[in-house]
Amino acid sequence: MKITHSGPSVGFFDGRYLKLDASNDPITGNLLLTPTVDSTTVLQVQKADTTVVLNVDTTNARVGIGIATPLATLDVRGDIFVFDSGNDPRLVLGDSVAAGNWGSIRWNSSGDRIEIGTEAGGVDTLVITETGLVGIGTATPDFELELESGKPTLAVKATSTTETVIGNKDNRLLFLADTATVGTGGEVVWGATDDSPAERWAAITGHITQNNAEGAKGHLRFATKTEHTDTVLTTRMTIDNAGNVGIGVTDPDTLLEVYKVGTQLKLSGGAADFATFAVAA
């Protein structure tokens, strides 16, 4: 291997040793290491036990750190630390530096969060906060996963739609509990501007009534609140595990049970219409 700078050769490898040409001292300009023949191990830095720390492969134009046979232009085996206090260190990936041709992963130093994005779509399209919250379309998520945009849409699309068994279809939302406690279960909640008791105004909730080694059963409840100042949702309708429906009651004992103090059922018609209620045998 020949060692050169902007001028003539300044040294060479002779067997195991590096020799410098004292006549060209001091070295000025660019320093170049040029092998006489390309090799997959043209330059190596090793530990005392010969474990490879750094390997330069000029045959394939690859550099390996922690590996003697790098598989890519830069192949690192082990951890990589990228720190730049207060300056948002980042890793950029793409075709070129032209607009719309690259994306990045960066650490937001002031916000203490990871940001993943693109040059065209914004550098913080997806963020992961220091506490593990994930935001899509927001840099400051308040929940484990928060989706925010002008018209946010969450799609659950299956690549195969052959399953017809209810509860096991190919595209679904699954709510699981980690306890057998009666009354627990997942729910879908509607809120105004935040997830506070005053802002929640409706919910469809699962209500476990039994959970043991043999399996689980429960009710489905629909709830709203009467006044905007209320902080508790009230169950308005229940579908129990037997298929009974209760309106105004949470434990219906017939196929349809309606309960209310005062008028329970009212049929109304317009000026030229009739309100009809019929019971067929």
DSSP string, 33-49: EE-SS--TTSEEEE-TT
Higher pLDDT, residue 262 or 274:
262
Q: How far apart are CA 201 and CA 230, in angstroms?
A: 9
Q: How far apart are CA 1 and CA 18, in angstroms?
A: 9
* Mean pLDDT value across residues 75-93: 93
Domain ranges of the chain: 1-34, 90-147, 155-281
Residue listed under structure tokens 């190596």: 44
Burial class of residue 49, CB neighbours in 10 A (0-12, 13-18, 19+): exposed
* Mean pLDDT value across residues 33-40: 88
Confidence of residue 123 (pLDDT cuts 50, 70, 90): confident
pLDDT in tens, 140-166: 999 999 999 999 999 999 998 899 999
The answer, yes or no, to whether residue 274 has pLDDT greater than 80, is no
Q: What is the pLDDT of residue 54?
A: 97
Q: What is the pLDDT of residue 277?
A: 80
pTM above 0.85, yes or no: no
Least confident window among 5-14, 120-129, 181-190 = 5-14
Buried b (16+ CB within 10 A) or exposed e, 189-217: eeeeeeeeeeebeebebbbbeebeeeeee
Q: What is the pLDDT of residue 14?
A: 59
The answer, yes or no, to whether residue 271 has pLDDT greater than 80, is no
Structure tokens given for 270? 């317009």
Residue type at 265 in one-letter notation: L
Three-state SS for 129? strand
pLDDT in tens, 187-226: 999 999 889 999 999 999 999 998 888 888 999 999 999 9
Strand order in the sheet with 90-94: 90-94, 102-108, 113-118, 122-129, 134-136, 145-147
Listed residue (256, 267, 195, 197) closest to 225, CA to CA = 197
Structure tokens given for 43? 């330059």
Average pLDDT of the chain to the nearest whole number: 88
Three-state SS for 24? helix
Cβ proximity of 68 and 52 under 8 Å? yes
The answer, yes or no, to whether residue 9 has pLDDT greater than 60, is no
Least confident window among 29-33, 128-132, 198-202, 277-281 = 29-33
Q: How far apart are CA 12 and CA 3, in angstroms?
A: 6
Counts for the chain of helices (H) and strands (E), in that order:
0, 20
Listed residue (100, 79, 105) closest to 90, CA to CA = 105
* Mean pLDDT value across residues 51-67: 97
